[in-house]
Amino acid sequence: MPVRLRITLLFGCIVLFILLLVCGSVYYFSRTERTRDTRLRLVNRAITRARLLAHPTYFDAEQLRILDSSTMMALQDKSLQAYNYKGEKVYSYSEEPEDTLAVDNKLLDEARIKGTVYFRIGKKEAVAYHHVDSNMRVVVVAAAYDEMGLKKLHELENILLISFITGSIVAFAAGYIFSGRLLRPIKKIADDIQVISAQELNRRIDGGDANDEWRYLSETINQLLNRLQESFDMQRRFIANASHELSTPLTSISSQLEVSLSRDREADKYRTVMQSVYQDVRHLGKLTQTLLEFAQASGDPGGLTIQPVRIDEILLEMPADVNKLNPEYTVSLAFGDMPPEEEALIVVGNNELLSLAVRNIVINACKYSPDHKANVHLEVADRQLVISISDKGVGIPEADLKYIFQPFYRVNHTGPELGFGLGLSLAHRIVKLHKGTIEVQSTPGEGSLFTLRLPAAQF
Which residues lie near ligand ADP (CB under 6 A)?
Answer: 360, 364-365, 368, 391, 393-396, 404, 409-411, 413, 419-425, 448
Phi, psi of 154 (to 5 degrees): -65, -40
In our burial notation (b when 16+ CB lie closer than 10 A, e otherwise), range 292-329 reads: ebbebbbeeeeebeeeebebbebbeebbebbeeeeeeb
- Distance, in Å, from the CA atom of 18 to the CA atom of 180, rounded to the nearest integer, reads 23
CB 394, CB 413: distance < 8 Å: yes
255 phi/psi in degrees, rounded to 5: -70, -35
Distance CA 312, CA 51 (A): 111
Looking at beta carbons only, is 175 or 407 nearer to ligand ADP?
407
Shortest CB 334 distance to ligand ADP, Å = 18
Nearer to ligand ADP, 202 or 414 (CB): 414
C-beta separation of 221 from 205 below 8 A: yes
Nearer to ligand ADP, 350 or 369 (CB): 369
The least distance separating ligand ADP from the CB of residue 179, rounded to whole angstroms, comes to 55
| Closer of 91 and 420 to ligand ADP (Cβ) | 420
20 or 234: whose CB is closer to ligand ADP? 234
Output the furthest CA–CA distance in the chain (Å, rounded).
163
DSSP 345: G
Q: How far is the CB of 362 from ligand ADP (least distance, A)?
A: 9
Q: 10 Å Cβ neighbour count for 223?
A: 11
Q: In angstroms, what is the minimal distance from the CB of 363 to ligand ADP?
A: 8
Contact 361, 422 (CB under 8 A): no
Closest separation between CB of residue 284 and ligand ADP, Å?
Answer: 15
Please identify the residue of the shown chain whose CB is closest to the bound ligand ADP. Answer: 419
Closest CB to ligand ADP among residues 388, 448:
448
Strands 330-335 and 137-145: unpaired
What b-and-e string marks burial along 397-424, b requiring 16 or more CB atoms within 10 Å of the CB?
Answer: eeebeeebbbbbeebebeeeeebbbbbb
Least gap, CB of 230 to ligand ADP (angstroms) = 20
Cα–Cα nearest to 299, from 350, 346, 236, 244: 350
Which CB, 158 or 326, lies closer to ligand ADP?
A: 326
Residue 336 Cβ vs ligand ADP, minimum distance, rounded to whole Å: 21
Looking at beta carbons only, is 56 or 444 nearer to ligand ADP? 444
Identify the helix (H) or strand (E) that includes residue 235: helix 213-261
Report the nearest approach of ligand ADP to the CB of residue 326 (Å): 13
Do you know the residue count of the chain?
459
User: What share of residues in the chain are helix, strand, coil (percent, to 5)?
Assistant: 55, 20, 25
Helix (H) and strand (E) counts for the chain?
A: 10, 12
Residue 175 or residue 395: which is nearer to ligand ADP going by CB?
A: 395
Q: How far is the CB of 231 from ligand ADP (least distance, A)?
A: 19
